[in-house]
Amino acid sequence: MMVLLWIPVLFLCGQMMAVKGDCNRKLENGLFDDLIQMMLKIRGPGHDHLPKRKDFPAFTAYRASTQSLSVKTSVVFDKVWTNNGNGYNPSSGVFTAPMSGLYHFAAVVMSVSSKSLFLRLYHNSAKITSSYITDTGYKTGTFDVVLSLEKGDTVSIKSGHNGQTIYSDGDNYSTFSGNLIAM
């Protein structure tokens, strides 16, 4: 019995290349962009506008120090690792959608040792979900939501009570991330 094996190959610039795991970043990015364009063509007209990778809304911000909060004060994740599309404002802690679409948001917040921490995630002025942390020691709470946003809508995390403190230090225990997942 004869068995045929298919080995994946790429034709680039008239040359045949075997696909390896050590592709360079420029080639990888080009292949990714080509794949996205091919998928858009398959989907048909009206679905052919996706932002370029550098403009694709996505952010991850963190706190490297504690923050004291009063009721309805936004948690300010004042340090930024990623802010594609510049939707996140590290001075206010508020994300403003630069384009309409479906967005995923996640956050991890840490309480001060043996103190409770009650936070809420807001879409514009609407309370979406809450996190309540209590007990002894340092504790973490999380947020993980998918929201449909219009251009200009805001998402933030705010204190639910007075006299609370978000804990973080140089190990960056408290983070906030969001990204566009569909248009």
Q: Which domain holds residue 17?
A: 11-43
Give the number of domains in the chain: 2
pLDDT digits (tens, 9 = 90+) for 129-163: 999 988 888 889 999 999 999 999 999 999 999 88
CATH code of residue 178:
2.60.120.40
122 and 174 part of one domain: yes
Helix (H) or strand (E) holding 25: helix 25-43
pLDDT digits (tens, 9 = 90+) for 62-83: 999 999 999 999 999 999 999 9
DSSP-derived pairing of the beta strands 15-18 and 117-123: unpaired
Instruction: Decide: 182 and 102 in contact? Cβ < 8 Å.
Output: yes
169 and 80 part of one domain: yes
CB atoms within 10 A of CB 14: 5
Looking at every residue in the chain, the average pLDDT score rounds to 83
What is the Cα–Cα distance from 110 to 157, expressed in whole angstroms?
13
pLDDT at 54: 73
